[in-house]
Each structure stands twice: as C-alpha cells, then as structure tokens.
Amino acid sequence: NAGVTQTPKFQVLKTGQSMTLQCAQDMNHNSMYWYRQDPGMGLRLIYYSASEGTTDKGEVPNGYNVSRLNKREFSLRLESAAPSQTSVYFCASSVRGLAGVKQFFGPGTRLTVL
C-alpha cells in the first residue's frame, strides 16, 4: 500500500515549456486534489476532483489544467510554464468515513521555472 505517489520529485523548466505532474493513489479514494505551497502562503488548492470524471477549480487554477484519468490517477498539466509557477506541488486524496474526513498527501514535486 503505497498511499499517494507523485512523479517527478524535482523538475526544472524554462519559461514556456510544458509538463505534466503525475499523481496516483491506491486507497480507492473518490476525491483527489492538487495544491501548491509557497513560502508564507500555506497550501492553496489548484484543482480538485470529487469523483472519477469530474474536476473543479480551486483557489488558484489559472495556468493549470487537470485530468482525472481514472479513479487512481489525477494529473496536473502546465501548458506554458511561468516563473510564478515555481513552487512545491502536493497531490492528495481523501475519504469520508465514520471517523470524519481523512486527507492523505503525497511527498511533493519541487518545480523551478527559470
């Protein structure tokens, strides 16, 4: 049981390049999320997916697109990277049960855009 996995761990891009961050979870969770973390800003939600086939914008969606490929996988795409997108990106998944909501995080992707 690997939990939430993310690839790559590190990435350096030049302005204007594109890339896709991959995320997968093996806990059979319906909901998945992409956050970015910047110093002094906490975690800000980029996009989320409440279930397979649905996606919704979060707080900071501009410049990003997402795909919920299946129940396990939720990818984040930067079509034309900008220096303002330099950040640490976290994927998460969640489940609601008798013990309330539990959200599980991946290890993060550190992205630098030059």
Partner 1 sequence: AQSVTQLDSQVPVFEEAPVELRCNYSSSVSVYLFWYVQYPNQGLQLLLKYLSGSTLVESINGFEAEFNKSQTSFHLRKPSVHISDTAEYFCAVSSQGGSEKLVFGKGTKLTVNP
DSSP conformation class of 40? T
CA distance 14 to 81: 7
Nearer to partner 1, 2 or 14 (CB): 2
Q: CB of residue 17 vs partner 1: minimum separation in angstroms?
A: 25
Nearer to partner 1, 77 or 96 (CB): 96
Nearer to partner 1, 65 or 105 (CB): 105
DSSP readout, 54-91?
--EE-S--TTEEEEE-SSSBEEEEESS--GGG-EEEEE
Sort 35 into a burial class: Cβ within 10 Å, 0-12 / 13-18 / 19+.
buried
Q: CB of residue 66 vs partner 1: minimum separation in angstroms?
A: 15
Amino acid identity, residue 101? V
Nearer to partner 1, 17 or 50 (CB): 50
Q: CB of residue 29 vs partner 1: minimum separation in angstroms?
A: 9
Q: What is the contact surface with partner 1 in residues (CB under 8 A)?
A: 31, 33, 40-45, 48, 50, 58, 90, 94-96, 99-103, 105-108
Amino acid identity, residue 36? R
